[in-house]
Structure 1
Amino acid sequence: MTSRRGFLAGLLATGVAPAATWADVGAPAYLSAAQGADGAYYLLGVGPEGGIRFRQKIPGRGHAAAAHPQRAEAVGFARRPGTFAFVLDCLSGDTVAELSSPEGRHFYGHGVFSRDGALLFTAENDYDNARGVIGVWDVRAGYVRTGEFDSQGVGPHDVRLMPDGETLVVANGGIETHPDSGRTKLNIPVMQPNLTYLRQNGSVLETVELAPALHMNSIRHLDLRADGLVGFAMQWQGGQGTLPPILGVHQRGAAPRLFGADPEVAGQMNGYGGSVSFSGDGRHLAVSSPRGARVQVFDVASGALAQVLEMEDVCGLGAAPAGFLASAGTGQVAMLEADGRHPLGTADVRWDNHLVPLHT
């Protein structure tokens, strides 16, 4: 007897059925890239309990993905600096489209769809001009690039769609790189990271910078709360010594707030924020550090440190109803709750950096 999944895949191949939805691939809560035990690379759907809902092979090591809001389709980005991305049918495993960055551009590993799924926005580097850009792709036309606009900073690493469905928030990391120099950081003494809020036509709504003393704290990754509060994780470029906090929040129209300024608390993370996530109820904010082998959890209202959880090579974080789901390069998956860390098992993969949430 043909399974429902096989039946749908056959219909999709003939063009008879509508595109598969996320429910058709097991209703995952997150997407993650990973390397399998066979050495190949995969994009996986991950359930809210940490189980693997689907697994599809991809052409190389991934970083993050953008999940289409309606259909089981994901854009996988090469690790930076990469010039290609692919659109994956998560049911069949087929490549729907291939994206190549224009000459003089490369991707930074992150992107996001518009709320209706008609447009894709990609974080990119205009490397000859040391300028960040957001690429715009027409999804309905088959992922055709239709333009770009300035990200209002250097090194836009992450980009998210705000809860209003209209505003983009960009983490301009501030670090200048050029493919001729590999991943060498070219401007550390004068870097200026920022958070920028943009309309989807590129017009600027607000730009926020850290205090001058923190200008080497690269703003890298983002998460959003339903009320528009932005959580951001940073990576310190100023060398060792007294390390600054690597986690903050920002609300439009206000100054950013940083968590974990105590030198002992900051020092645990080795200056490196890997991923950031609000808890399911929005009361807590977590940051992971694979270099520090820890997750720190803070109370959002007070800014107080609520928990420190040790976990080797931990990086991926995702919201769970009572806390957070965490994944590690060791293959471990764990639930982080108020009473501590609850191991959920070890998958036969090396999880990559991020658990990308699906909001469906």
Structure 2
Amino acid sequence: MGMFKGTRLAAVAAVLAGLLGGAATAQAADPLKVGFVYVGPVGDLGWSYQHDVGRKALEAHFGDKIKTAYVEDVAEGADAERVIAQFGQQGYDLVFTTSFGFMNPTLKVAKKFPKTKFEHATGYKTADNLGIYDARFHEGRAVIGTIAGHMTKTNVIGYIGSFPIPEVVRGINAVTLAARKVNPNVQVKVIWVNSWYDPGKEREAAETLIAQGADIITQHTDSPAAVQVAEEKGVWAFGQASDMAKFGPKRLLTSIIDDWSGYYISRVQAVMDGKWKAETTWGGFKAGMVKLGALNPAIPADVQKAAMDVKTGIEGGTLDPFAGPIKDQDGKERVKAGAALTDKDLLSMDWYVEGVQGKLPK
């Protein structure tokens, strides 16, 4: 369990300021208190690490006007509720809870602490003092799917899944649709590890997928273990959440990078300006919340161009990763030509597209 960083210091500073300059000065000097709750360790080098990069960007931007704290490695469930409530009890102004399984605990705590503002990442439940935010990672997956479709020799792409929630299913489908658009023979094999961060299980899943013929590994889990396996075995891989190039200097094709810094800065500024309200934010390439790492020079020039064309098309609104026609894996048409899935469809996605092998766990 991570530490509340500097909260005691903040309390001491406030007392000293009161003694030295009267209550009014203390009031003016009180920093805005911003808390973060992470599902993994900040050293996961993926999801939680990137949120912590965002927290550090806040500190760099606002300096002593804010005081931040985080708790890492928080289990989804009762544990999370206790940790989130601690921030409320300690009078935090704004609290970011950064995993899907924190949704119900955050909602419960938000009701108990109406003066604290809460924001939950990747969920769908809101309240007057609870907003939600997420990034359109599937946009990045349409780009990596395009690269994978061109680069695979075995026509098997391996995908390491965390939990079968809509966000993860959407990513698997985005990769599959994009890959099959350029190479209709592609099949995607999924192994579920039922964890966001478990380097041992992620490594094992990557090795199993390679044994099953995958020559490209992609993931919706948070450690660089799969990238390291790809480097060792001489297959291709994509990084997740942060730039994982150093873990696969030869074999990493690119990474989908989550960039939360601008979002966090804008939300803290909104609190300072008295303009914060519970909002729903879902930004992608255009909003700068999803970025791509450098493309591996091993990717042929025409494939790099094809990938960038997809990215540019998504940014400009001329290409929708979920435009029809789309069939599910049973061959049933889910989206007609000329139509596309809505955000509501995407946020509740619970079916595989044609080309994904195996049944989706319920």
Flag whether TM exceeds 0.5 (same fold). Answer: no
**Structure having greater relative contact order (Cα 8 Å, sep ≥ 6):** 2
Bigger strand share: 1
Using the size of structure 2 for normalisation, the TM-score is 0.25
Which structure has the greater CA radius of gyration? Answer: 2
What TM-score do you get using the length of structure 1 for normalisation?
0.25
- Higher-helix-fraction structure: 2
